[in-house]
Structure 1
Amino acid sequence: MAKFDSYQFEDFLNDDSFITWLKYGTDVNGYWQEWLNAQPLNLNVYNEARAYLLTVLSTDVIIDDPQHQQQVWDRVEKGIIGHERKRATIKQLRIWSSAAAATICVFLGGLWYYNSKVEITTGYGEHRNVTLPDNSLVKLNANSKVSYYRAWHWHKLREVWLQGEALFDVKHLNKQPGDVKPNEQFVTHAGDVNVQVLGTLFNVKSRRNNVVVALIKGKIKVSGTQPGSHSYIMNSGQAIDYQKNDVNLRLVNSLNNKPLAWTEHKMMASGMSVGAIIENFEDTYGNRIVVDSPALLNKQIDGTISVRTRESTLYMLANLLNATVQERDGVYYLKSK
């Protein structure tokens, strides 16, 4: 019965027990009479609904007080108007909420697009050519990854991140050498080193906590990311070997492995240790090489070594060391003859 206390005009008309009570005089369990005896606060609403329903159900004309009849019809009209307003309000709220949801989705989508990166990777033994959105070219060595902002043109700098080794051929944008705008700069992040360029050709190798930058042509600025690190201006033909704060600036021709040899699937060794050759093989193909004599790791090699396939590299290395090769569980063992 307590629920009757909150009934509005429409609620009475939608209640089957109310209709039965008025039409047949049947009061299930005496609820309606008991409720009326309690003189509820919405008794006037009950009377209006009762009069309206009796008008509908009666086959005889029911003469009611004109004033009361007007109140009933005013109530009906008010209910209809209120219902229409409610529907209009709900519709408007749905439109607003849909617009707000769409705005949030657009904002979040834009934020994701602005901060997300495109990542391009190579597997073991794989090379890949990458064209950046500004038409700069990147040749990616095996077991390497280059990434850049998806919203490339929304950022002030042209930036790429490198893990592994790559050759960069950067498109020259600035027209005035002495007036370089932020969006004309190109920065490569590799390990603990940032390489800032304008338009140039350079190779970056970032492996085993060691970064080697070889400048083929142009001019670059190499800076360490660690506190207290220095910056170095490099010219064509120079290379820098950067391991934390241990920096070695030298000529490209003095490197024990020519920096662009890998683009032709080769190592061009000049006083290159066997240990360094093995590291290069492991970085390229992912397999370990174990030698039976640690002293062999310090042996220096001169000459060209093919790295086109795993087998060709192992074959040439075995010949250079006069050793046999055995493979167990993906590990290659070099044993001196």
Structure 2
Amino acid sequence: MPNNLYTFYTTENFLDDADFLRYVKYNRPVDVSFWNNWLSSSPENIKSFQEARLQLQILLSYPPVTVSDDFKMLLLQDINLSIDRHQNKRRKKVVRLFWGSGIAASLLVAAFALWFYQSTVVVRSDYAENQLVHLPDGSDVQLNANSTLTYRRAINWLSQRAVKLEGEAYFKVKHINVNQKQIKRGELFIVITKNARVQVLGTEFNVKERHNQTNITLVTGKIQVSATQSSKQYILKPGTFIEFGPNGRLSASAQTLNSSTAWLSGKIVVNQTSVNEILREFEDLYGYTVILDSPALGNKKIDGTISIKSEESLLFTLKNILNVEIKKEGKTIYLKNR
């Protein structure tokens, strides 16, 4: 736990912190001891800490509220406006006003709980952009370019930790289970793509979901993978690769980890890979359409390691390997024989 970092936390920062959420939710002795020691140092932002703790305690103790759909919609619109980061002053004013009466305070709690549990977080990486995502449970996700990760804002409070992936990402999942022999449903971590569902505890693996195919490579640990279109399940061990299409599993084999995770260091490893496949990877990462002057050129096989840190480096490599000229017109690239 980053003791010094908490001194600069706002109420929102505390609400997003996995260690703080665990402390309020489970009240474990080791967490209580840590936070008591931190509070004994009289931090300047103790008020933010107390506000965040109070909000979470209210959420945990407040009984379910039944309201109409119209009321939910209006209330959600109001609470979304009130918590907008660019309207903090207005939010605080509204909160103080609501807390002026017991009934209004109850409505605020109900609205906040409703928003918190129903809202989602969507993280998108643009073309030519990698992005590291820190999930509230302590897991890390490295998004490759042109990828999207979606998860519920209340992921730590739900019966299942689940995220949805479109594109490619490398996962480092945090263990939250205490008893290895009795795994609770909420302790599992689920990754959902169009064609597959990956179920893990704590491990590292790569998932790639593009062009209606999902590729999964396990780096460490053990994962269970199931096909979306069937009830079949597969257990992967480190170094195992499995591929799914819209009709189920396509193949499963041992996989060189370096080839699946090379993108993390800005390169791709090709082994008898066609030019067409390499160009499709380029299009996925940088958003271009590539047109070959000679279609037969696309069937040429290439071995080796190619840098993808920039579009220039990849095009330079292809230019020399294929002996072609490169012409750009907007978002279209032409590869022409010399």
> Which TM class, normalised by the smaller chain length?
0.5 to 0.7
State whether structure 2 residue 299 is matched by structure 1 residue 282: no
CA-CA distance at 1:117 after TM superposition: 1.2
Alignment of 1:24-43 (within 5 A): none
Runs of 4+ with deviation above 4 angstroms: 98-102
Q: What amino acid is the match of 2:276?
A: G
Task: Please report the TM-score for the alignment, with normalisation by the length of structure 1.
Answer: 0.67
Per-residue deviation at 1:104? 4.0
Alignment-derived partner of residue 199 in structure 1: 202
| Matched residue type, 1:231 | Q
Asked if the contact 1:116/1:149 (under 8 Å) is kept, the reply is yes
Q: Which runs of 5+ in 2 are unaligned?
A: 1-97
Secondary structure of the 1:124 match is coil
1:50-199 paired onto structure 2 within 5 Å: 103-199=106-202
Give the TM-score normalised by structure 2. 0.67
Question: 1 CA distance for matches of 2:297 and 2:161?
Answer: 44
Partner-residue secondary structure (3-state), 1:133: coil
2:233 to 212, 220, 231: 231
What is the alpha-carbon distance in structure 1 between the residues aligned to residue 195 and residue 108 of structure 2?
37
- Unaligned regions of 5+ residues in structure 1, if any? 1-94
List per-residue Cα deviations over 1:140-165 (Å, max 9, x = no partner).
Answer: 11111112211122101111111110
Structure having the higher Rg: 1
Question: What is residue 302 of structure 1 aligned with on the other side?
Answer: 303
Identity of aligned residues (%): 43
- Is the CA contact (8 Å cut-off) linking 1:125 and 1:284 kept in structure 2? yes
| TM-aligned CA deviation for residue 246 of structure 1 | 4.0
Letter of the 1:244 counterpart = P
1:101 and 1:275 map into 2 onto residues whose CA distance is 62
- Deviation string for 1:97-121 (max 9, x for gaps)? x765654443233222102111211
Contact 1:163 1:190 in 2 (8 A): yes
Report the equivalent of 2:261. 260
Q: Quote how far apart the aligned CAs of 1:124 are.
A: 0.8
String of CA shifts for 1:197-233, please: whole Å, max 9, x gaps: 011110000111110000011110111222x341111
- Distance, in Å, in 2 between the alignment partners of 1:129 and 1:329 is 29
Q: Deviations over 1:71-113 (max 9, x none)?
A: xxxxxxxxxxxxxxxxxxxxxxxx9xx7656544432332221
User: For 1:258, what is the secondary structure of its paired residue?
Assistant: helix
Structure 1 Cα separation of the partners of residues 248 and 201 of structure 2: 26
Cα distance in structure 2, aligned partners of 1:153 and 1:242: 29
For residues 290 and 190 of structure 1, what CA distance do their matches in structure 2 show? 29
Pick the aligned partner of 1:245 from 238, 244, 247.
247
For 2:182, give the aligned amino acid: D
Contact 1:215 1:252 in 2 (8 A): no
Query: What root-mean-square deviation, in Å, do the aligned CA atoms of Structure 1 and Structure 2 show?
Result: 2.0
Taking the aligned partners of 1:108 and 1:154, their CA distance within structure 2 comes to 17
Cα distance in 2 for residues equivalent to 1:101 and 1:176: 42
TM-superposition CA deviations, 1:247-297 (whole Å, max 9, x none): 1111112x8x81111001101111111111111101100011110122222
